[in-house]
């Protein structure tokens, strides 16, 4: 397959969209971009004192390799810089160019199907209850030895959901034509299978 085919996967934090996106990309041989890493990279640079708009304008690929991008502090910083219109604008062209590369691409984030790639050939919205997502994040943080508790993580999840959904510029929302996948009570294998099936259906529908 050489023609562009974009798969847009959106959803809140810890819903499983990253894992699903990687699996979908691997299954179809598409390139994958976790767009949240772009905002995390900007957030990480902001935490060092850099202006977030300047950080977004000067972002380089190496910034995405920062091992600290998965920390809780950077996650919160990413959500804060994501509400800044100038930051979103600076990262827009990069994401759209990646999406239309030959051979297909999977992008996951918060506004891929609604803002970044509204014409994506396939759109998925991956979600789960706040409690389930907080438990997943808490377990992940425990594995890393983080000093936190479930209530704090749940509060952070709820705060981030509120911030992501209420921001004026490109809020988190399910595109009207996106396939909903609720992973609250699903195994990851079942969720991946459902996602692959949804993308295959869209690909079949696009065939002449």
Going through 11-78 in order, the beta strands assigned E by DSSP cover 31-34
* Residue among 39, 12, 20, 7 nearest 174 (CA): 12
Q: Are 114 and 164 in contact (CB under 8 A)?
A: no
Binding residue numbers for ATP: 11-19
Measure CA 54 to chain center.
22
**Is the Cα torsion angle 135, 139, 142, 144 positive or negative in sign?**
negative
Binding residue numbers: 11-19
Q: Are 98 and 125 in contact (CB under 8 A)?
A: no
First to last CA, the chain: 14
User: For the chain, give me the number of helices (H) and strands (E)?
Assistant: 8, 5
**Cross-strand bridge partners of residue 162:** none
Token pair of 83 as six digits: 């509400």
**Is the Cα torsion angle 53, 55, 61, 65 positive or negative in sign?**
negative
């Amino acid at each position: 397959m050489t023609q562009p085919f974009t798969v847009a996967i959106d959803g809140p934090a810890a819903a499983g969209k990253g894992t699903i996106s990687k699996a979908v990309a691997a299954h179809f041989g598409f390139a994958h971009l976790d767009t949240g890493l772009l905002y995390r990279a900007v957030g990480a640079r902001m935490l060092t004192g850099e202006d977030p708009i300047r950080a977004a304008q000067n972002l380089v690929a190496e910034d995405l390799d920062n091992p600290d991008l998965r920390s809780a502090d950077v996650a919160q910083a990413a959500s804060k810089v994501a509400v800044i219109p100038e930051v979103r604008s600076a990262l827009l062209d990069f994401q759209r160019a990646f999406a239309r590369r030959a051979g297909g691409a999977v992008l996951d984030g918060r506004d891929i199907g609604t803002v970044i790639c509204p014409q994506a050939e396939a759109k998925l919205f991956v979600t789960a209850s706040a409690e389930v997502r907080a438990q997943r994040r808490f377990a992940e943080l425990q594995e890393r030895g983080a000093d936190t508790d479930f209530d704090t993580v749940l509060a952070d999840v709820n705060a981030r959901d509120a911030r992501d959904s209420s921001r004026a510029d490109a809020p988190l929302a399910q595109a009207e034509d996106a396939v909903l996948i609720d992973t609250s009570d699903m195994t990851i294998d079942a969720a991946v299978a459902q996602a692959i099936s949804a993308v295959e259906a869209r690909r079949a529908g696009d065939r002449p």
